[in-house]
Amino acid sequence: MSNKRDYYEVLGVAKSASPEEIKKAYRRLARQYHPDVSEEADAETKFKEVNEAYEILSDEQKRGLYDRFGHAGVSGNAGGFGGGGFGFDVGRDPFEIFEEVFGSFGGFGGRRQTGRRPRRGSDLRYDLTLEFEEAIFGAEKEIEVPRRETCAHCNGSKAEPGTNPIRCPECNGTGEVRRQAGFFINISTCPRCQGAGEIITTPCNECQGRGQIVKKRRLSVKIPAGVDVGTQIRLSGEGESGVYGGPPGNLYVVIKVKEHAYFRRNDDTIHLELAINVTQAALGDEVEVPTLDGKQLMTIPAGTQTGETIRLRGQGVPRLRRDGSTSGRGDQVVTIQVRTPTNLSKEQRHLLLELGKTLDREVVPQREKSFFDRIRDAFGV
């Protein structure tokens, strides 16, 4: 069992809290426990705890997984599906989250260092549309993903090989500019070198001094059986390259599924509507019905009514486990629709009249309207 505190408890908000309430609570607590402000001994630990809670609860998808599965659903160490994906990475640098909300933060001692600090690459998302059967039984798909990769020509240095950058004269190589106003020191990113601490005099000819180039990468993605709309498959390290030696990000393949012509899915259950005639409903019958595995004989009991269901055990969707394996299958539910016959022949009408005489009450047949009757009805004549 996880020893982590409940994320809602950490931020001091209710589980029904709105995104605005969550952000407001985060801003208050992040300022309170920032290590450069707080004098509490465990301020840095609490600061990281608050940021971790905010990272999950501020993301609609991660929050949904957390609400369903708790910490296991959003833990990067869960080792499997987080209720629709192969896990999520929790553990971003808390100061990065802080700066996303507050912007560049200065005046509290300047513990943040810029310059050539290694930074993790960005995560990428790829939407993959599957056929209905591919989502049920699994598949292997090849995708092509454009992403930024470290420039091989300059090895990410941004400078043309054989040349050297110079130390930024504005910040003296620190990447930061400090300005004092009374007792406070304002620290901001150097505007000249943009925090790099150095200036590229001869940019790389291949990447034009960016340190990265965009390339298309072909990847093979194994789709486990039983995935559904919204399932996320994480391909670790297949996101964009890191900067200054930082690790690459991840690629999240988000599943979409095409509708089927007659099957409808609800979790691990497959639904099918089957039309039968009055005779089949009254007397019963044995009919072939389509299933995911092909046609199967099914018995319709005598006296079946519209809306009644027949369950075919084990003919549904494979049950997907958190580790990507499957355990058994759901069922297929067939809903019966009894169709009333139309355009009867004289013989059929006679037979139905005779049948009606033997039932609860004698039928008074209504004359079928002629073409001229329908025209009169349409114009109210």
- Per-residue pLDDT averaged across 124-143, rounded? 95
Q: Is the pLDDT of residue 274 over 60?
A: yes
pLDDT of residue 102: 55
Residue 111: the pLDDT is 43
Whether pLDDT at 104 is above 50: no
Q: pLDDT for 154-190, tens place per residue?
A: 988 889 999 988 999 988 888 888 887 666 677 888 8
- Asked if 174 and 306 sit in the same domain, the reply is no
Strand partners, 250: none
**Residue at which a domain ends, from 53, 74, 103:** 103
Residues 60 and 195 in one domain: no
Out of 237, 257, 277, a domain closes at 257
User: Is 237 in the same domain as 363?
Assistant: no
Of 52-66, 78-92, 270-284, 326-340, the range with the lowest mean pLDDT is 78-92
End-to-end CA distance of the chain: 78
Contact (CB, 8 A) for 248 and 242: yes
* Cβ contact 334:310 at 8 Å: yes
Question: Which CATH number goes with the domain that contains 314?
Answer: 2.60.260.20
Q: How large a percentage of the chain has pLDDT more than 90?
A: 46
d(CA 327, CA 319) in angstroms, rounded, equals: 5
Spatial distance between the Cα atoms of 145 and 17, rounded to a whole number of angstroms: 36
CA distance 202 to 199: 9
Mean pLDDT of 213-226: 93
- Average the pLDDT over each of 56-60, 77-81, 327-331 and give the range with the smallest value: 77-81
The token pair that represents 199 in the structure block: 């200036």
Between 331 and 380, residue with greater pLDDT: 331
Binned at pLDDT 50, 70 and 90, residue 202 comes out as: very high
Q: In this model, does residue 363 exceed pLDDT 80?
A: no
Number of domains within the chain: 4
Q: Are residues 30 and 45 in the same domain?
A: yes
Question: Is pLDDT at 225 greater than 90 in this prediction?
Answer: yes
247 lies in the same domain as 286: no
Same domain for 116 and 49: no
The pLDDT, as a whole number, for residue 126 is: 94
Worst-scoring range by mean pLDDT, 71-75, 101-105, 120-124, 374-378? Answer: 101-105
Average pLDDT over residues 243-264: 92
User: Do both 209 and 246 map to the same domain?
Assistant: yes
Does the pLDDT at position 360 exceed 60?
yes
Tell me: pLDDT of 371 over 60: no
Reported as a pLDDT band with limits 50, 70 and 90, residue 86 is very low
Question: Do residues 176 and 191 share a domain?
Answer: yes
**One domain for residues 74 and 88:** yes
Domain containing 146 — which CATH number?
2.10.230.10
Mark whether 252 and 272 lie in a shared domain: no
The range of the structural domain enclosing residue 280 comes to: 259-340
Instruction: Label residues 136-166 b or e (16+ Cβ within 10 Å = b).
Output: bbbbeeeeebebbbbbeebebbbbbeeeebe
Same domain for 235 and 291, yes or no, is: no
pLDDT tens, position by position, 293-316: 999 999 999 999 999 999 999 999
Place of tokens 């080792």: 79
HEC profile of 337-368 = EEECCCCCCHHHHHHHHHHHHHCCCCCCCCCC
Could you report the per-residue pLDDT of 189-201, keeping only the tens digit for each? 888 888 888 888 8
Question: Would you state the structure tokens that stand for residue 353, as one six-digit string?
Answer: 């009249």
From the CA atom positions of the chain, what is the Rg in Å? 33
Q: What average pLDDT is seen over the chain?
A: 82
Q: How confident is the model at residue 364 (pLDDT cuts 50, 70, 90)?
A: low
Asked if residue 361 and residue 331 are part of one domain, the reply reads no
Kindly indicate the confidence band of residue 74, based on its pLDDT and cuts at 50, 70 and 90. confident
- Residue where a domain stops, chosen among 71, 103, 135: 103
pLDDT recorded at residue 372: 57
37 compared with 123, residue with greater pLDDT = 123
- Asked whether the whole model's pTM tops 0.75, one would answer no
